[in-house]
Structure 1
Amino acid sequence: MSPQACKFVWYELMTSDSAAASAFYSQVVGWTAKDAGMPGMDYSLLSVGENQVAGLMALTQDMRAAGVPPCWVGYVGVADVDAQAQRILKAGGTLHMPPTDIPGVGRFASFADPQGASLSIFTGSSDEQPPQPPVGSPGTVGWHELMAVDGVKAWDFYAEQFGWQKKDAVDMGPAGVYQCFGGDGDAFGGMMTKMPEVPVPAWGFYFNVEAMGAAIERVKAGGGRVINGPMQVPGGSWIINALDPQGAIFSLVAEKN
């Protein structure tokens, strides 16, 4: 088990139309997009103020040929990508991308957990972390959520890999238990057994916005579609699950409706 709880450190949108996706999320979430200047690669950095939040890249021809759809991917920071990748394999996971260097940035690997949900791991070249906006600030990521084939088994896997700790457990009735998790402080995510209508196990990410009603109008105006919500969750926040115009699933969370 990791000596301390690992945290999500990056998020990446892989999309079929990077220019359109950039315009959509800039409008909906309030990000500004800037080309990363990576030679031979269509990659943009999405920021709120001076803080980089996520990356955006066009699906490559190989990805499209392999049937990879537009999607959001999360990166968990670990002490040693290579050693962590071996632990993931030993625990029944599968590597999509073996440990690979990003020159001047760090090293990453992409994997699927034993139930098929995809995630990435990352070790930075530097231990220095830029200052981050306060928790809950518009444009930041407010929650991480796994819909698993089996929530209990998924918890065992991730707790072993990343040292996550159980926080509140919410009884969802027929839907089962929603297990919140985090590190030494507050919870930063939750996981549960997915409902039958959820086609595949997957991680989802909630972006903070100021007010949900106005955000929903921006989603619709930009060509996106709300597929669940708005609904109020324990603690009082409002959430929606939605599709962007290219078909990637994303979620929003706000303190007020």
Structure 2
Amino acid sequence: MTDASNFIWYELMTSDPAGAAAFYGAVVGWTIPSQGEATAGGVDYRMIGRSDGGNAGGVLALNADMLAGGARPLWIGYLHVADVDAAVEAIKADGGAVQMAAMDIPVGRIAMVTDPQGAPFYVMTPTPPPGSEGMESDVFSMDQPQRVRWNELATSDPGAAIAFYKKHFGWGQEGEMDMGPIGAYRFIQRGDVGIGAVMPLMEGYPAPVWSYYIGVDDIDRALAAVRANGGTVTNEPMEIPGGEFAMNAIDPQGAPVGFVGPRQS
């Protein structure tokens, strides 16, 4: 399977990269450099390192101008497309919006868009390094720690959102879990791989949004680390199908995040 329509990158936009490095280092085991690389326009960008030597994503430092313009700490995903400009036009034609116009960066071409309900994400056509053509991104995994393991969309119109992602990214939707008065938790697939779910927007969510669950080695250790390092737990660990546990938190800078993993004790 190629990377077409896959989540190929995740990015933490944060007001304090050093604080985020300390938090995610303690909770997940990642390494984030103390100094970023200046990218186009002088933006501070840092790679997230995993213990196995790979990258889990990137950290973009929100500067004063970005914050003044309304940007806030947030995790955001990148979806692979064959042609960014064509994807943007098709998304606009179906009711989506453009948050950041298509632009070239050293590693490819990107644009930030929203789906018709308003959930933001990037579309990207990457330019692989010489000799790496055909390689697949490994930032998402169904079962590995230190990678995003689940992509969850909370939206005001789950049926319309599923139809949108089916049309533009070829995803499937099979199976669901009854959440009582909240509604159905509907599972989504890329090929035969379960990549996440779509759920109704619950009270307290200000707008439709994608949430990402990061794999940890021990959910109770991660829970303690969240609390000990300035995070806020919004949902305690709960058992999920398969016997592992998932929890939700807000990192010290204000970005919502999820964690998933086994209970070791």
Moved more, 56-65 or 129-138: 129-138
Partner of 2:70: 67
Shift of residue 45, structure 1, vs aligned partner: 0.3
Map of 1:31-50 to 2, 5 A cutoff?
31-34=30-33, 35=35, 37-39=37-39, 40-48=42-50, 49-50=52-53
Q: Find out whether 1:51 has 2:58 as its counterpart.
A: no
CA contact (8 A) 2:212 2:258 kept: yes
The alignment covers a number of residue pairs equal to: 254
Q: Distance in 2 between matches of 1:189 and 1:137?
A: 15
Q: Find out whether 1:87 has 2:90 as its counterpart.
A: yes
Shift of residue 58, structure 1, vs aligned partner: 1.0
Secondary structure of the structure 2 residue equivalent to 1:10: strand
Note closer, same or farther for the CA distance 1:230–1:51 as it changes in structure 2 (3 Å cut).
same
CA contact (8 A) 1:4 1:163 kept: no
Q: Distance in 2 between matches of 1:162 and 1:130?
A: 17
Q: 2:182 aligns with which of 150, 175, 185?
A: 175
Shift of residue 219, structure 1, vs aligned partner: 0.6
- Paired letter, 2:216: V
Q: Distance in 2 between matches of 1:152 and 1:135?
A: 24
Q: Distance in 2 between matches of 1:136 and 1:4?
A: 18
Alpha carbon RMSD of aligned pairs, Å? 1.9
Note closer, same or farther for the CA distance 1:234–1:177 as it changes in structure 2 (3 Å cut).
same
CA contact (8 A) 1:5 1:165 kept: no
Alignment TM-score, normalising by the size of structure 2: 0.90
Q: Distance in 2 between matches of 1:74 and 1:172?
A: 25
Shift of residue 27, structure 1, vs aligned partner: 1.2
CA contact (8 A) 1:5 1:163 kept: no
Alignment TM-score, normalising by the size of structure 1: 0.93
Q: Distance in 2 between matches of 1:187 and 1:75?
A: 17
Secondary structure of the structure 1 residue equivalent to 2:164: helix
Map of 1:90-105 to 2, 5 A cutoff?
90-103=93-106, 105=107
Q: Distance in 1 between matches of 2:3 and 2:48?
A: 28
Question: Which structure 2 segments of 5+ residues have no match?
Answer: none
- Paired letter, 1:212: I
Partner of 1:129: 135
Secondary structure of the structure 1 residue equivalent to 2:32: strand
Q: Distance in 1 between matches of 2:117 and 2:156?
A: 6
- Paired letter, 1:63: M
Note closer, same or farther for the CA distance 1:184–1:23 as it changes in structure 2 (3 Å cut).
same
Note closer, same or farther for the CA distance 1:36–1:64 as it changes in structure 2 (3 Å cut).
closer
Secondary structure of the structure 1 residue equivalent to 2:67: helix
Shift of residue 212, structure 1, vs aligned partner: 0.7
Moved more, 201-210 or 174-183: 174-183
- Paired letter, 1:92: G
Moved more, 120-129 or 217-226: 120-129
Shift of residue 150, structure 1, vs aligned partner: 1.1
Secondary structure of the structure 1 residue equivalent to 2:38: coil
Partner of 2:230: 223
Secondary structure of the structure 2 residue equivalent to 1:67: coil
Identity of aligned residues (%): 41
Note closer, same or farther for the CA distance 1:185–1:255 as it changes in structure 2 (3 Å cut).
farther
Note closer, same or farther for the CA distance 1:5–1:193 as it changes in structure 2 (3 Å cut).
farther
Q: Distance in 1 between matches of 2:3 and 2:144?
A: 25
Secondary structure of the structure 1 residue equivalent to 2:72: coil
Q: Find out whether 1:120 has 2:127 as its counterpart.
A: no
Cα deviation code 1:99-148 (max 9, x no counterpart): 11112x00100011111111111111124326748642210110000000
Q: Distance in 2 between matches of 1:44 and 1:4?
A: 23
Note closer, same or farther for the CA distance 1:107–1:4 as it changes in structure 2 (3 Å cut).
closer
Q: Distance in 2 between matches of 1:73 and 1:168?
A: 25
Q: Find out whether 1:194 has 2:196 as its counterpart.
A: no
- Paired letter, 1:197: G
Question: Which structure 1 segments of 5+ residues have no match?
Answer: none
Q: Distance in 2 between matches of 1:128 and 1:222?
A: 39
